[in-house]
Amino acid sequence: MFEGFTEEFVDVADARILVRHAGDGRRPVLLLHGHPRTSATWHRVAPRLLEAGFTVVCADLRGYGRSVGPEPTRDHAAHSKRAVARDMVQVMDRLGHDRFAVVGHDRGSLVALRLAFDHPDRVSAFGGLDCIPVSEHLARADARFATLWWHWFFFAQPEAPERVINADPDAWYRGDPEVMGRENHDEWRAAVRDPRVVRAMLEDYRAGLTVDADHERADRAAGRMLTMPVLVLWSLRDDLEQLYGDPRLIWHDWAHDVQGHGIDSGHHMAEEAPDELATALTRFLDAATPLA
């Protein structure tokens, strides 16, 4: 995986972040994975973006994969999207990128959203894959949502999820090495077998239902909007459109310039539909971050 990419750890304020990166420094794009994946989920997309002329940075979110974050806090702020977004700003600083595009999938999209709101001068374009803001989910939560996305509320419980998942992580988290790619699968499998990683992933969800949702509500109350171009892509064989219809309609309340479409894929589109995803990202990023 990631032939020609440099793999290294970057120490930030209170975390140590695993980063894979390559490129000549022009048109940097930061790719952020979702739950329960690692940065290896991008192994089929990142080289395509590199070939298209982008500098590509893939990072493990704090506590995920091989990145190490702080101990959880009672208010879950140590694993908030605000804290993780700060990690990513510091990572990009260390790599010499003052302004960059950010694309996130699933939980990584929530980090990308917080990064775009908290550091708008740093973000040239925002891509959200299989995502709407967490506060929008909660505002619309009903029995159907709770049935389909019950894991959000299970993960929020204290201690019980750790005991259940760590008892048999291979049974809880299932992945197909033929679909994922063997190296990606093996890296992901090693991560989910680590109780430290499991705890951090659960803290991500606990933060989502508490401090992260509060931060988003504060943005809405203040009338803040994303001013950079926004791309919204969703998996047609997942349930986001089933729950909400066209997610772009929701994003129009959060951003001035929204575009996007569905991708013929299951949830993990970077693994299942890398060509279609890379093509969509390249077209968007070419327009949003043209060569000087």
Across 256-283, average pLDDT:
98
CB neighbour list of residue 195: distance below 8 Å, 6 or more residues apart: 162, 166
Q: Is the pLDDT of residue 289 over 90?
A: no
What pLDDT shows up at residue 291?
73
Mean pLDDT of 157-185: 96
Angle between helix 107-118 and 81-94 (nearest 10): 70
Give pLDDT, residue 81.
98
pLDDT digits (tens, 9 = 90+) for 86-95: 999 999 999 9
Q: Is the pLDDT of residue 179 over 60?
A: yes
DSSP letters, the chain, are --TT-EEEEEE-SS-EEEEEEESSSSSEEEEE--TT--GGGGTTTHHHHHHTT-EEEEEPPTTSTT-B-PPP-TTSGGGSHHHHHHHHHHHHHHTT-SSEEEEEETHHHHHHHHHHHH-TTTEEEEEEES---HHHHHHH--HHHHHHTTHHHHHTSSSHHHHHHHH-HHHHS---HHHH-HHHHHHHHHHHT-HHHHHHHHHHHHHIIIIIHHHHHHHHHTT--B-S-EEEEEETTSSHHHHHS-HHHHHTTTBSSEEEEEESS-S-HHHH-HHHHHHHHHHHHHHHS---
Q: Output the average pLDDT for the chain.
A: 97
The tens digit of pLDDT for each residue in 193-221 reads 999 999 999 999 999 999 999 999 999 99
pTM summary value = 0.98
What percentage of the chain carries pLDDT values higher than 90? 99
107 band by pLDDT with thresholds 50, 70 and 90: very high
pLDDT at 229 over 90: yes
Whether 106 is catalytic is: yes
> Hey, what are 292's tokens?
């000087």
Q: Which of 106, 130, 219, 238 is catalytic?
A: 106
- Name all domains of the chain by residue range, CATH numbers in brackets: 6-288 (3.40.50.1820)
Q: What is the per-residue pLDDT for 39? A: 98
Mean pLDDT calculated for residue range 161-183: 96
pLDDT at 98: 96
Active-site residue flag, 257: no
* Spacing of C-alpha 69 from chain mean position: 16
Q: What pLDDT score does 292 carry? A: 56
Other Cβ atoms less than 10 A from the Cβ of 273: the count is 22
Q: What is the pLDDT of residue 290?
A: 78
pLDDT at 285: 97
23: left (phi over 0), alpha (psi -120 to 50) or beta: left
Residue from 1, 32, 35 nearest 18 by CA: 32
Provide the pLDDT for residue 60: 98
Q: Cα dist. 270→106, 133, 151, 181 in Å?
A: 11, 20, 22, 11
47: how many CB neighbours lie within 10 A of its CB?
19
Mean pLDDT, to the nearest integer, of 14-20? 97
Considering 246, 252, 267, 286, which one is annotated as catalytic? 267
Residue with tokens 């940065």: 39
